[in-house]
Amino acid sequence: MKKFIIILSVIATLLTVPILSFSNEFIVTSNDIELIFTKGILYEDNMIYLPIEELLDLLKISQSEENFLRKEGNKFSLYIANDQYPDIYNMEIGKKEIVYTQEPQTFSSATRETKYAPMLRNNLIYIPFEFIEYIIPFEKYGLDLVNTNIKYSSLLWIIGGILLLVFIVSYRLFKKQGKKNI
């Protein structure tokens, strides 16, 4: 029985960390309502990537004349309506920056360097989640990213800790009992 408890404790403890590492599921919400991405969310290099066209559709940004996405080869521009002139965010596949301009004053622009770059997968443009905070007004859309593991990670670490404690206590009792038998 003691060997069974020891083996079970070791196995459960060893499985706790891999369960956390291999279950990367993320939920994107807008004003606390889950957005369902039929094209899928990518997770690469510790960053979440969202299909920009589907994101714009889900947020109903692309359903007006003032808001649109213009694509030219590897470059694309997102036009977001503002008070007087649209905000224009120019991006390029594989390039780690966003160039902001406002028409008709195209002579004034600001470039923001980023850690990640947009990517093309299955003919879809995916943008890193870090871009979203720059290009989509949070106060209007309330976008948030939730890692579903966070709900369970604390519980798994507690279970793992308890099992490790059971293992240590069982091992010491087993070792102590072994010395008495000698």
Q: Tens of pLDDT along 2-19? A: 666 666 666 666 665 555
Distance CA 92, CA 101 (A): 15
Give pLDDT, residue 14. 62
Give pLDDT, residue 53. 92
Judged by average pLDDT, the poorest of 67-81, 98-112, 122-136 is 98-112
Distance CA 82, CA 167 (A): 61
Domain 40-140 in this protein, CATH class = alpha beta
Give pLDDT, residue 164. 73
pTM: 0.65
**Angle, CA of 98, 104 and 107, to the nearest 5°:** 60
- % of the chain at pLDDT higher than 90: 23
Give pLDDT, residue 167. 73
Average pLDDT over residues 21-36: 75
Judged by average pLDDT, the poorest of 19-28, 47-56, 86-95, 113-122 is 19-28
Average pLDDT over residues 139-154: 63
pLDDT in tens, 83-92: 778 888 999 9
pLDDT in tens, 110-142: 888 999 999 999 999 999 988 887 888 767 777
Give pLDDT, residue 29. 82
Where exactly are the structural domains of the chain?
Answer: 1-23+148-182, 40-140
